[in-house]
Amino acid sequence: MRSSEVGLRFLTTSAQLRRAVDDHMAACGVSLARTKVLQVLARLGPVKQTDLATELGMAARSITQAVEALERDGLVDRTAADDRRAKVVTLTENGRGALAAGEAAGDEVLRSIFGRLSPAQLDTLDELLAVINETR
């Protein structure tokens, strides 16, 4: 029973951490979800919208809505691919700026939370998370 109690505590903590990061990032102009999309575009370069959805593990409809919103805000451009039905998504300069701001805001809140841990505690947490991730 103890493992399920710890598991639930971990899930609660994880949700609170995610909310804190997302709130701080959103206050700086870009949400965690938007930052993830921008990070993939920065890493892959121009990419078909379907490939972007696959990379992010998102449904086609969800990625379409996300990309349309990013395009409205000038953070990405969409152009027709060779197959006119497909769209290629490209990060704009404004998108690069938003990505940098989002990453900086995320780093700031993570440093403030995890900075309270000693180096030994961070190492232990990292080891424990690695074990948990191996079990998936």
DSSP 23-77: HHHHHTT--HHHHHHHHHHHHH-SEEHHHHHHHHT--HHHHHHHHHHHHHTTSEE
pTM recorded for the entire structure: 0.81
Assign 87 to helix, strand or coil.
strand
pLDDT of residue 1: 66
Q: What is the pLDDT of residues 99-123, one digit of tens each?
A: 999 999 999 999 999 999 999 999 9
Q: What is the pLDDT of residues 19-56, one digit of tens each?
A: 999 999 988 888 999 999 999 999 999 999 999 999 99
pLDDT of residue 135: 75
